[in-house]
């Protein structure tokens, strides 16, 4: 049996307390092919779709500081649009569909650690405002 490089995962398994978009959706640059004068944007090798990114904050109050904010890559032909920000809220609650997680070693300083890269096929408003599942 070969272990897949990317693991399919449900949004609620990764973020049982939800997430909040804390940035706009931006197109990811391909830094190896870009120049200062001519930006080239990343294309997903498997799907041929453009790669977009949005920073989110985990709704889990007990999340470690280093894990509280992550970037989610979204694969789409056109720029994904975040749902409207609810009135009176500082951030926009969102959910992701078609998620995958890819493990990698983050080498920050003296202590390498296991980290995850998340990709999704779509972003949308949360399905319901029900209480989150216990982790």
Cβ–Cβ under 8 Å, residues 96 and 75: no
Asked if residue 135 is part of any domain, the answer here is no
Q: What's the pTM value of the predicted model, to 2 decimals?
A: 0.87
In a domain, 2, yes or no: no
Asked whether residue 27 is domain-assigned, the answer is yes
Alpha carbon distance 121, 52 (integer Å): 10
Q: How far is Cα 118 from Cα 70, in angstroms, rounded to an integer?
A: 9
Return the beta strands (E) in 28-78 as ranges. 50-58, 69-76
pLDDT band at 135 (very low <50, low <70, confident <90, very high): very low
User: Which residue bears the tokens 């977009």?
Assistant: 52
Strands 7-8 and 26-27 turn out to be unpaired
Query: Is position 132 within any domain?
Result: no
Percentage of the chain lying above the pLDDT 90 cut? 73
Residue 26 within a domain: yes
Output the six-digit token pair for 135.
């982790």
Short-list 26, 7, 35, 114, CA closest to 72: 26
Domain around 28: 7-124
C-alpha angle 86/81/116, rounded to 5°? 95
Contacts of 71 (CB under 8 A, 6+ apart): 53, 54, 55, 56, 118
39-51 pLDDT per residue, tens: 999 999 999 999 9
Instruction: Tell me what pLDDT residue 11 has.
Output: 97
SS3 of 62, please?
coil
Q: Per-residue confidence at 131, pLDDT binned at 50, 70, 90?
A: very low
> Is residue 119, in this structure, part of any structural domain at all?
yes
């Amino acid at each position: 049996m070969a272990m897949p490089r990317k693991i399919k995962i449900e949004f609620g398994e990764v973020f049982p307390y939800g997430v909040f978009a804390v940035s706009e959706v931006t197109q990811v640059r391909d830094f190896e092919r870009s120049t200062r004068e001519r930006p080239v944007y990343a294309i997903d090798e498997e799907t041929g779709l453009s790669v977009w990114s949005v920073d989110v904050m985990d709704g889990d109050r007990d999340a470690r500081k280093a894990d509280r904010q992550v970037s989610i890559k979204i694969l789409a032909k056109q720029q994904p649009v975040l749902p409207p920000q609810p009135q009176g809220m500082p951030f926009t609650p969102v959910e992701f569909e078609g998620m995958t997680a890819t493990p990698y070693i983050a080498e920050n300083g003296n202590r390498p650690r296991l980290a995850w890269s998340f990709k999704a096929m779509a972003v949308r408003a949360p399905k319901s405002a029900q209480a989150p599942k216990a982790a």
